[in-house]
Amino acid sequence: MRQAGRYLPQYRELREKHSLRELFFTPDLATQVTLMPIEELDFDAAILFSDIMTIALALGLKLDFQEGPKIDPMVRPEHVDALPFVYETLSPIWETIRLLKQQLSVPLIGFCGAPFTVASYLVEGGLEGIKKWVYRFPQQLEWLLEKIACASIFYLENQVQAGVDAIQIFDSWANVLSKEQFLRFCLPFYRRLIDAAKVPVILFARSLVLHIEEIKDLPCALSCDWSVPLSTIRKTTTQTLQGNLDPDFLYAPLDVVRQETRQLLLSMKEDRAFIAALGHGIKPDTPVAAVKTMVQTVREWIPC
Ligand code: CP3
């Protein structure tokens, strides 16, 4: 997650010359950024350089990136009906995927946001605003989620057609909902997105483990944060588990990075359905040497 982010000096150099929107929508540049961590750090898979919020353009909204995605004007309940579908806005992304597939020697992971998390960046008031929709305008929220889901399915299908090998779904803000709300506003959409993808799917949601009983039968891998050890989650599900190191551990001295990585590997040592990874995105000021140490430690690990 955010492996191509601001912690790489090559990325920061490119970013001085180009806006985020330019990077996301210029296939040559997006390709270059996607390849950076693969060339520099030897990961097993690349993640497409794009953003979960590019989908806003397909809903006819104006999107800019400052300190994060900015939608202007933001969506109000009375706007939902009139949101159009402007699918051609996303086509540079298919071109990026085609270029990447010609150059990559590792699999390429595409992605989208889950409708609830995308909606939380679209509506007036952001995360606080969307909680108002949950209680005051639940039907308009469902309708908005439905529209985002349709656009996301189109988005996923086109990524797969252009060549991505797997899809990751991000529901970064699902943790602000109660169980009942999660069952209504999140879970049904996971099923539809997973069905539409037709390639392996990895699902990330903050505090996913709170809903493990509800998601343990979904046909997807689970990307887990660090709130509960993977070996504990394993007791409840046979799904592939990804994670779950706290990204802040990369600020520790390198020998601690090595030790914590080994501890995770050891805790999952006979598990064939385990992907060693961070439990969330890499922070911008993370030392590259720490990321390298983590990757090397995983590479050197010989399962008993
Ligand atoms: O690993 C990668 O770099 C792949 C591309 C990728 C980006 N965003 C690029 C990006 C992916 C997979 C995402 C997902 C994303 N985007 C999520 C879900 C994952 C998560 O973090 O929970 C969310 C919620 C977003 C929305 C978003 N995009 C925010 C809130 C921000 C600003 C805050 C931040 O952490 O940077 C962005 C900007 C963004 N998207 C950057 C990158 C590399 C930062 C770029 C920069 O400032 O130069």
- CB-based contact 233:212 (threshold 8 Å): yes
Q: Residue 2's pLDDT is what?
A: 67
Query: Residue 10 burial by CB count (10 A; 0-12/13-18/19+): exposed, middle or buried?
Result: middle
Q: What is the DSSP string of 256-290?
A: HHHHHHHHHHHHTTT-SSEEEEESSPPPTT--HHH
**Ligand 1 contact via 122 beta carbon (within 6 Å):** no
Please tell me the distance from the alpha carbon of residue 73 to that of residue 58, in angstroms, as a whole number. 15
Q: Residue 87's pLDDT is what?
A: 87
Which positions of the chain have pLDDT values less than 50? none
Give the ligand 1 atom nearest the CA of 113: 18
Q: Which amino acid is at 54?
A: T
Four-residue CA torsion sign, 248, 250, 254, 257: positive
**Residues 6 or more apart from 252 whose CB is under 8 A from it?**
260, 290
Structure tokens at 296: 């090397």
Look at the block and give the residue holding tokens 């799917």: 201
**Ligand 1 contact via 21 beta carbon (within 6 Å):** no
End-to-end CA distance of the chain: 28
For ligand 1, atom 1, the nearest C-alpha belongs to 2
Nearest to 2 by CA among 49, 58, 69: 49
Q: Residue 147's pLDDT is what?
A: 97
Q: Do strands 241-245 and 63-66 pair parallel, antiparallel, or not at all (unpaired)?
A: unpaired
Please tell me the distance from the alpha carbon of residue 290 to that of residue 282, in angstroms, as a whole number. 11
For ligand 1, atom 7, the nearest C-alpha belongs to 51
Residues in the chain: 304
Distance 72 CA to ligand 1 centre (A): 19
211, containing H or E segment: none
Q: Residue 148's pLDDT is what?
A: 97
Distance 120 CA to ligand 1 centre (A): 14
Catalytic residues: 2, 6, 15, 51, 121
Q: Residue 6's pLDDT is what?
A: 84
**Ligand 1 contact via 190 beta carbon (within 6 Å):** no
How many CB atoms lie under 10 A from the CB of residue 143?
15
Global pTM? 0.95
**Ligand 1 contact via 47 beta carbon (within 6 Å):** yes
Q: Residue 49's pLDDT is what?
A: 96
Q: Residue 68's pLDDT is what?
A: 86
Q: Which residues pair with 276 in a beta bridge?
A: 243
**Ligand 1 contact via 15 beta carbon (within 6 Å):** yes
Please tell me the distance from the alpha carbon of residue 162 to that of residue 177, in angstroms, as a whole number. 34
